[in-house]
Amino acid sequence: MGIVIRKKPKFQKKKIIKKIIILFIIYLVTFSASFFFFNKNNINKNLDKKKTVIVYANDGEKFLSEKKYSQAIEYYMTQLNQNPEDYVSMTQLGLAYKNLEQYDKAKFYLYKSYQISPTYRYNYIYAAQIYIAEKNYEIAESTIDAMPTSSKEDFLAKADLLIKLSREISDLEEKIVYYRRAVSYYKKYDKTAFNETLDELINLYFKLAEYYKSKGDISNIKSLYSSIIRYKDNCEMRNIIAMKYKAIAHDTDAILNITQAVNQAETQEEKRLTRKNLIDLKYYFEQKANNKNIKIINSLLDILDEETILVDENHTALSVTNEDFKYIKDKKKKKILPVLTLKIKNKSDKPVTPIYLKAEIYFHHKKVLETEKLTVIPPDITLEPNKETDLITINFDNEVKKNKLKYYTVGLSLSDDNMNWKLYRIYQADKISK
């Protein structure tokens, strides 16, 4: 009898395969879970370590920011015990001792840090601050000079130290040297600090110029004013320098600078300031009977007053223009009469009602001297926005023919109810011609 082999049904094979697959999945899940939890513990341990470092580091900075310097020292000493080569902790110790005014200890740790890291910026900053506090200005300057400058932050830190040093010393010339260096750094890396520091530097130049003025040293004064113009050449500064030269009776340089001011005047405020100083200079030269300079000033006023700006009490811009004398024929008298028409324009977008307007016309035998004056107060008028209005028309037949006048200048004023006149002049020495 032979051996009979019975085949297993197909569904039993499928069951066995299914069990094997399930067992394999269970194995994978179990292995993955154990691997995950094992690594999670390691990750958490590493995170805890990192977190501890961050917390301790922030605690040290926090103690410094809260001015808890003793606690900061204790913290950074602990750091150094753990890592004797930690130059950052040494520097922070130096800062803490500096703030406690224990300067010897501060310098000790800053020097230790410097030996490990000679390029670390803060060692130089804190050391220079200590020398300035000790009034050891020469060593402070040497420390600032020795500071490496390989980045924007280095240059700005050096500039800040130079300004701090400059503010501590009394010698104006030394102050200016430090400020000039700081300004050169700020100009490249920090425009806001540059503008602020530049104004301080210019004020120092003016102070030093006053000192030289008391000594009668005109040469050094001119050198200082030239330096100022190199730093800030604009209408306002040219006006200031012109009047400074007037104060020391250096007329040629006063004329040169006010001429530049006229050329640079663009805004209403710049024109108003320049006109005011031109009038001041004109009166100054009249007192000295300097006709040559008076002629120059009149020419500058002509250039500046091509369009003259008035401002009323509400700071509304008004433009006043004057037409040349026009000779008209009087039909009744059958003769030619010289007539001047003044016009005013409201440049704002709102109506303006000046309380009073006064026109002053000066007639001249020559361009400046021997004046005759005629004052006319026109009626109250409302100036419509962005429109030109006839202010007054005046017949000057008698004045012109009687005195054989050849030139005229127009001035206009505004006043309030109490007749407090505020004068704005249009200094245009125009020739009367047919």
In whole angstroms, what is the distance from residue 37 CA to residue 431 CA?
103
pLDDT digits (tens, 9 = 90+) for 408-420: 666 666 665 555 5
CB 277 within 8 A of CB 257: no
CB 357 within 8 A of CB 391: yes
SS3 (DSSP) at 173: helix
In this structure, what token pair is assigned to residue 298? 């009149």
pLDDT digits (tens, 9 = 90+) for 81-92: 999 999 999 999
SS3 per-residue string spanning 202-244 = HHHHHHHHHHHHHHCCHHHHHHHHHHHHHHCCCHHHHHHHHHH
SS3 (DSSP) at 4: coil
Architecture of the 58-244 domain? Alpha Horseshoe (1.25)
In whole angstroms, what is the distance from residue 186 CA to residue 198 CA?
9
What is the per-residue pLDDT for 112?
A: 93
In whole angstroms, what is the distance from residue 120 CA to residue 249 CA?
54
Q: Which residue has the higher pLDDT, 238 or 306?
A: 238
Most confident of 9-13, 193-197, 241-245: 241-245
In whole angstroms, what is the distance from residue 142 CA to residue 162 CA?
11
CB 405 within 8 A of CB 364: yes
In whole angstroms, what is the distance from residue 428 CA to residue 16 CA?
117
The model's pTM: 0.53
What is the per-residue pLDDT for 429?
A: 47
Q: Which residues pair with 431 in a beta bridge?
A: 407
Q: Specify the domain boundaries for CATH 2.60.40 within the chain.
A: 317-431
Please give the DSSP secondary-structure letter assigned to residue 429.
Answer: E
In this structure, what token pair is assigned to residue 25? 């999945």
Q: Which residue has the higher pLDDT, 56 or 124?
A: 124
In this structure, what token pair is assigned to residue 300? 């500058």
pLDDT digits (tens, 9 = 90+) for 150-163: 889 999 999 999 99
Lowest-confidence region among 57-71, 198-212, 276-290, 379-393: 379-393
> Which of 384, 345, 362 has its CA nearest to residue 429?
362
In whole angstroms, what is the distance from residue 159 CA to residue 190 CA?
10
SS3 (DSSP) at 393: strand
Topology classification of domain 317-431: Immunoglobulin-like (2.60.40)
Look at residue 360 and tell me whether its pLDDT is greater than 90: no
Q: Specify the domain boundaries for CATH 1.25.40.10 within the chain.
A: 58-244
Q: Read off the pLDDT band of 310 (50, 70, 90).
A: very low
What is the per-residue pLDDT for 313?
A: 41
Q: What is the mean pLDDT of the chain?
A: 75
Q: Read off the pLDDT band of 15 (50, 70, 90).
A: low
